Amino acid sequence: MPLRPHSLHDHACLIVHGPDQPGLVAAVTSLITRNKGNIVTLDQYSDNPEGGAFFQRVVFHRPDLAAAMPEIEADLDKTLGAQGMTWQLTDQSMPKRMAILASTSDHCLLELLWRHRRGELNVTIPMVISNHTNTAESVRSFGIPFFHIPSQGPDKSAAEAEIVKLLTGNVDFVVLARYMQILSDDFLTQVGVPVINIHHSFLPAFIGAGPYKKAKERGVKLIGATSHYVTKDLDEGPIIEQDVARVTHAMSATDLQARGAYVERAVLSRAVQWHAEDRVIRHGNQTIVFA
């Protein structure tokens, strides 16, 4: 059961990633112990114990964590750096800053805002940016700043530049809640933080406009959704989460779209939660998810 944000005081999350080798688990647990930490959860995975890659996520409690962080980080650098491992240590009481980009469809956007208000997502939301204005009133009713940046025509560079100005230094990751614009390589480079997308199918099926119409015409029996990290290769980034719903021949394309919206909302919410809680480790074009 994930810890709720209010119970994360003095809790740290340690992510370890690198070549698998004997003694890694002992090294990490001993390090936490000598730094007066008490392990709350520990998950690990090796893709091949003989020369493969090792992945570990550890959450531990340490009184006066903020003051102890520099000492713990120095110990991690000395202990794990010498073994060729990379590591990341985060204070779990510090929510990640999540910006949301949206277009006209509001189901994924409102799902995230609702879950955030209920305390289910350990994030802050400094802004929602949209290329349309139809969601402005709904977003502001949650007390979240709304910015309208139109994006029309083949040249999106001016709109992307405005978005980059808003995001730079203010967010830790970005979520595309059905933001129906293709982001350029330059945008992804300039933003410099992870970007999470929701795709309304099992990739790579039914890419492009009108996916549920295409699914109906194909006579599918399952529809699905995929949440993934955005890369320069369209819809081919590392997958975080997927799910499906069963459909029948009697359902119209509109029925498929309505059912698909439920799946999209759930899949994106889980992906956002797992990323915010440092449960996702990227490894090439794959992810290790300690859900």
Distance in Å from the first CA to the final CA of the chain: 9
Q: What's the CA gap between 249 and 283, in Å, rounded?
A: 39
* Closest-CA residue to 282 (of 242, 249, 239): 239
Handedness of CA 140, 3, 198, 243 (dihedral sign): negative
The Cα–Cα gap between 84 and 62 comes to 26
State the Cα–Cα distance between residues 129 and 157, nearest whole angstrom: 16
Q: Which of 10, 235, 243, 255 is catalytic?
A: 235
In the block, tokens 């991690």 appear at 76
User: Token digits for 190?
Assistant: 């300039």
- Per the annotation, the verdict on 172 as an active-site residue is no
Phi, psi of 275 (to 5 degrees): -65, -45
Beta-carbon count within 10 A of 161 CB = 13
- Listing DSSP states for 13-74 in one string gives EEEEEEE--TTHHHHHHHHHHHTT-EEEEEEEEES-TTT-EEEEEEEEE-TTHHHHHHHHHH
- Cβ-based burial of 12 (10 A; exposed 0-12, middle 13-18, buried ≥19): buried
What residues are labeled active site? 235
